[in-house]
Amino acid sequence: MKRGAILRKQSNENNRLMGYLFLLPNIIGFAIFTFIPVIAACYISFTDWDGFGKMKFIGFQNYIKMFSDKVFLVSLKNTLVYTIGSVIPLIIIALLVAMALKEGMKFVKVFRAAFFIPHVTAIIAIAAVWQLLFHPTAGPINQFLRSVGISNPPSWLSSTHWAMFAVIIMTVWKSVGYYMIMFLAGLQGIPDSLYEAASIDGAGKFRKFFNVTLPMLSPVMFFTVIIAIINSFKIFSNIYALTQGGPGYSTNVLVYNIYVEAFQKLKFGYASAQAYVLFMIILVITLVQFKGQKKWVNY
Amino acid sequence: MNKKKISIGKILLYVFLVIASIAMIVPLIWMLSASVKPETQIFAFPIRWIPEKFMWSNYVKVFTLYPFMTYYINTIKIAVVVTLAQIITCSMAAYSFSKIKYPERDKLFLGYLSTMMVPFQVIMVPQFIIMRMLGLMNTHTALILIGAFAPFGVFLFRQFFLTLPDELSESARIDGCSEFGIYFKIILPLSKPAIGSVTIFTFVAAWNDFLAPLIYINTEDKKTLQLGMRNFQTLYESNYGQLMAAAVCAVVPTILVFLLAQDYFVKGIATSGLKG
Amino acid sequence: MKKIVSSILVTAMTASLITGCGASNDKVEEVKKTGSNDQVKTEEKVDLNLYFRSTNADYAQQVVDAYEAENQNVDIELIKYPNTDYKDKLMVQLAGGGDVDIYDAGNSAWFGDFVSKKQALQLDDLIARDNFDIAPYGNAIEELLIDNKLYTLPVVDSLMVLYYNKDLFDQAGVSYPTEDMTWNEFRELAKTMTSGEGNDKIWGSYIHTWPQCWYGIGLQEGATIIDKDLTPIEKALQFRVDLEEDGSIMPYTESIATNAHYNAMFQSGKLAMSPIGSWHIGQLRVGEAEGNVNFDWDVVPMPHPEGVSPNTTWGMTGQVVIQPDTKHVEEAWDFLKYLCGEEGAKIFSENGVIAGYKTDEIRDIYVGDKTQKPENIDILFNQKVYLENPAIPGIEVVKTEIIDKESQLTFAGERSVEDTMKAIKERIEKEFNN
């Protein structure tokens, strides 16, 4: 066909030139201010740099040291627990809220704003409030729990067993609005005609959700899950503001540990190595997702 | 009958949403309440949501003790410029990563994306050295350059562009449209929800950014709101009343931007006009 | 193409990182060569920057203004940030080779770290050359020597004293704390003064959540946190736990949960005794001026352990340092002498901050005309002060990462004092002696 022939004529060279041209504005800035520092940090991870003196190349020593470092291992575990514990509720709740707050509902802008406000509020204020809410004796949460018969409610931020759980609760509450927006954008891209067609076929709410919404939403879902995982692995300011890694090390997460190693213990080399281990973990998870997208993401 | 069932379901939904929304804004209410209370009452139990007396002096202090207006203007300037820069450069890059075909495209994208996985804390110092070499210390330019080229925006736009059928751009190419024309006249207008999202996320991220301004800004006249707010929380003082007043002032523009960007969240006309 | 360009850039960058990042003490050599009275101070315009923590930055600014008035050719930019932010920012500036001429090196622990990383100019030769009198700094100089060399001058310091609310004692009919109390006597007093419930609760005392607020008690016996034998520190930890059990201080976990602060608590009039630093005097005076403090209060020396003489306490020095890579060593040194010397000390003292430079005249300025509280302000000048942290590199981490974090488990009720101390000892062994 004529069309096919024309398409085939478009050479890769032409495309590549165009492709790079479009990339240019973003890539130049990115290369200078992000890419180079990232590479430099990778190099630093193989040195014993303390931030000041000379950088001495020490090969894989930092990486080996990590795996007998109890604090690092605890941080790794905490980060995994945190990620699994927060990403799953976040995605589910954000999706449900987005679906409830579709266009056309009364006061929809107000509701959406209400859900979004926690995300934009200064973390320092949020941490202060949640500290009060989680107060073991006088806080509203435990008072409520006692009133429904739980005589020994958890001491939340004062307990090494419950602190992480408390952090997760605060995170989910804070970030629901953020992920809600992504789902809203995705939902808007689903044509009504698909739902109408499904109705005609006799589909009820659940069928519509599983057969129309989810598949059509899969590109956004893909994006959201990856972003949520990356953000969770990189969590820092929530911990910094609420628990500073404590009590003890129960909420010490990887990036907080990296911050302490670099800026307090002056071990930039070791900190960078930890950062790259974190990077590897996220990269592997993301690659798996990218490979897997053919199976479940419809474009 | 059907009508009755729908109403009850909807009423329950509304009730639930109202309760959930209140839960969401509880901290904001607490902040508002704390911002007008004297220091000793802020953390007293039981929590008193409506204070006895309204101490507006905290707000006055916020604006007089420090050049808060200056911080405000600085932050607005940076956030707006970064947002615009991201919308333009990220959508262009995303267009390349999704609508133009060249063999190494997807690998390049993954490499690009993977830089998001490195925590800022370890790239801070090398990045600082570069900025210093470029003579950009204590400038807003430095902050803008850091914020304007984030993989996040590219990822979001790309994901969205991928949902737009290739036939759209292909048929335009055949009709002789330039790449830029396709990007500008066809793809972008269909991407309103994506533009809206990127606007919100980027503006908020730039607005709330704290680490980069800390490192690059030295003088009071260039500081941003997030830095300014830290003034109220030093080692020997904890001025929560003033801090909350500052936080309330700081949160207002982001809510406004959010409300305004809502207009972009209208149903897309993505697949209309496409046949065969 | 992109790959080639970026690899060149990377190589260039990393090369400069490797070579450029060492601070050199070449400047000291230069100074030595210029001879004794050969002032190299030029008359051309000189720009210096001064990094200072925001706590006392306003007063430092006054010193800067006074200095600039006398030295028209020098322009000093004061860069200030609140505590932790300050350290992070300073670290990045120094690590990245940013322009830092003179900086507030924080508490003595930070100072030790900075010196070990060669971020401080050695001052011995300059002091000898100019015959700068360091006697007024007293003991502090000795405490700050590293390898017997002096890298700094103290600018301000603080010490722990015991504040008490006279009205509360009067109401309870209890005698005021005395100038010679043991910690056990303090404990009894705190129990006696604790009363009430809920909104009417009066606390006997309040120990702030910083670790030095409890381990300082061990320091009074002359111990340090990195001793082989940490018995005094263990006793201190046990003591805090005991006070909590007595119910006379707010539990640690509650302090954290409610962001409690000694200033707000004392000013609320619901706190009988508050052991905290001398800077609190300034805060209380501000409180009085604003009408928030409506009771009579005074200070006495900190209680002491059995067998330790009275007027023993712990505290901190603040010291200023010249960054070795500065382009203007002479000018920086001239300003440093001013800031930490007599002129600067006068300004700090006028503002109610104890200066590192101590002469009778300076003390009189600080004590003032006795129209302001506390009446007993003189005691601040006859205390033996142990430093919260000696100026040893790496000790800051012991305090914040080991002692603070491990003790939190005891305060959360999850581990005994004994086990916590074992954990602390182990970690110091492993991490600090590395």
Residue B102 has pLDDT above 90, yes or no: no
Query: Which residue among B125, B137, B234 places its CB closest to the CB of C82?
Result: B234
Q: Which of A209-218, B90-99, B248-257, C214-223 has the lowest mean pLDDT?
A: A209-218
8 Å CB contact of C257 and A139: yes
> Does any CB of chain C come closer than 8 Å to the CB of residue A208?
no
8 Å CB contact of C412 and A249: no
Distance CA A127, CA A174 (A): 10
Q: Which of A29-33, A242-246, C188-192 has the lowest mean pLDDT?
A: A242-246
> Does any CB of chain C come closer than 8 Å to the CB of residue A53?
yes
8 Å CB contact of B230 and C81: yes
Treating both helix axes as pointing N-terminal to C-terminal, what angle do C231-246 and C212-219 enclose, rounded to 10 degrees?
A: 130
C6-156+315-386 and C159-313+392-431: same fold? yes
Give residue B241's pLDDT: 85
C253 band by pLDDT with thresholds 50, 70 and 90: confident
Q: Where are chain C's structural domains?
A: 6-156+315-386, 159-313+392-431
Give residue C15's pLDDT: 45
B275 band by pLDDT with thresholds 50, 70 and 90: very low
Give residue C364's pLDDT: 92
Residue C10 has pLDDT above 70, yes or no: no
> Does any CB of chain A come closer than 8 Å to the CB of residue C429?
no
8 Å CB contact of C13 and B130: yes
Longest dimension (CA), chain C: 85
- Enter the DSSP assignment of C55: G
Average pLDDT over residues A220-225: 91
Q: Where are chain B's structural domains?
A: 61-271
Superfamily of domain C6-156+315-386: Periplasmic binding protein-like II (3.40.190.10)
Give residue A282's pLDDT: 94
Amino acid at C368: G
8 Å CB contact of B159 and A222: yes
3-state helix, strand, coil in chain A (%, to 5): 75, 0, 25
Chain C residues whose beta carbon lies within 8 Å of the beta carbon of residue B231:
54, 82
B49 band by pLDDT with thresholds 50, 70 and 90: confident
> Does any CB of chain A come closer than 8 Å to the CB of residue B216?
no
Average pLDDT over residues C50-72: 94
Give residue A110's pLDDT: 87
Give residue C30's pLDDT: 42
Tokens 């604090």, residue located:
A71
The matching CATH number, chosen from 2.40.110.20, 3.40.1190.20, 1.10.260.40, 1.10.3720.10, for B61-271 is 1.10.3720.10
Chain A residues whose beta carbon lies within 8 Å of the beta carbon of residue C409:
160, 247-248
Average pLDDT over residues B27-42: 84
Enter the ipTM.
0.85
Residue C29 has pLDDT above 50, yes or no: no
Residue B23 has pLDDT above 50, yes or no: yes
> Does any CB of chain A come closer than 8 Å to the CB of residue C16?
no
What pLDDT, in 10s, does the model give residues C274-298?
999 999 998 899 889 888 899 999 9
Query: Which residue among C54, C55, C267 places its CB closest to the CB of B40?
Result: C267
Q: Which residue has the higher pLDDT, C258 or C351?
A: C351
> Does any CB of chain B come closer than 8 Å to the CB of residue A38?
yes
Chain A residues whose beta carbon lies within 8 Å of the beta carbon of residue B240:
128
8 Å CB contact of C257 and A158: yes
What pLDDT, in 10s, does the model give residues C151-160?
999 999 999 9
A8 band by pLDDT with thresholds 50, 70 and 90: low
Residue A75 has pLDDT above 90, yes or no: yes
Average pLDDT over residues B164-189: 85
8 Å CB contact of A52 and C258: no
Which range among B13-27, C88-102, C309-323 has the greatest average pLDDT?
Answer: C309-323
Q: C159-313+392-431 maps to which CATH number? A: 3.40.190.10
Q: How many CB pairs under 8 A join A and C?
A: 105
What is the chain C residue with the closest CA to A268?
C95
Average pLDDT over residues A146-157: 88
Distance CA C57, CA C104 (A): 10
Q: Percent of chain C at pLDDT above 90?
A: 67
What stretches of C82-138 adopt beta strand conformation (E)? 102-104
> Does any CB of chain B come closer than 8 Å to the CB of residue C260?
yes
Average pLDDT over residues B63-87: 93
Average pLDDT over residues C268-273: 93
A195 band by pLDDT with thresholds 50, 70 and 90: confident
> Are B227 and A89 within 8 A, CB to CB?
no
Distance CA B220, CA B227 (A): 9
> Does any CB of chain B come closer than 8 Å to the CB of residue C292?
yes
Average pLDDT over residues B18-22: 89
Tokens 């129960």, residue located:
A250
> What part of C 383-402 touches A (C-beta under 8 Å)?
394, 396-397, 400-401
> Does any CB of chain C come closer than 8 Å to the CB of residue B240?
yes
The tally of CA atoms less than 13 A away on the side-chain side of residue A83 is 24
Give chains near B: 3+ CB pairs under 8 A: A, C
> Does any CB of chain B come closer than 8 Å to the CB of residue C212?
no
Give residue C27's pLDDT: 42
Query: Which residue among A35, A50, A136 places its CB closest to the CB of C117?
Result: A50
Query: Which residue among A41, A126, A287 places its CB closest to the CB of B118?
Result: A41
Average pLDDT over residues A170-179: 94
> Does any CB of chain C come closer than 8 Å to the CB of residue B264?
no
Distance CA A254, CA A233 (A): 8
Average pLDDT over residues A160-177: 93
Q: Percent of chain A at pLDDT above 90?
A: 44
8 Å CB contact of B163 and A299: yes
Indicate the average pLDDT of chain A: 88
Give residue C321's pLDDT: 96
Q: Which residue has the higher pLDDT, B62 or C213?
A: C213
Which range among A27-31, A218-222, C231-235 has the greatest average pLDDT?
Answer: C231-235
Give residue C1's pLDDT: 44
Give chains near A: 3+ CB pairs under 8 A: B, C
Residue A113 has pLDDT above 50, yes or no: yes
Give residue A2's pLDDT: 61
Distance CA C119, CA C116 (A): 8
Nearest CA-CA distance, residue B117 and chain C, Å: 20
Give residue C152's pLDDT: 95
Indicate the average pLDDT of chain C: 87
Three-state DSSP class for C74? Answer: strand
* Alpha helix ranges (H) inside C53-82: 57-70
Residue C37 has pLDDT above 70, yes or no: no
Tokens of B119: 């925590």
Indicate the average pLDDT of chain B: 85
Q: Which residue has the higher pLDDT, A84 or C254?
A: A84
Chain A residues whose beta carbon lies within 8 Å of the beta carbon of residue C21:
49, 52-55
8 Å CB contact of A34 and B149: yes
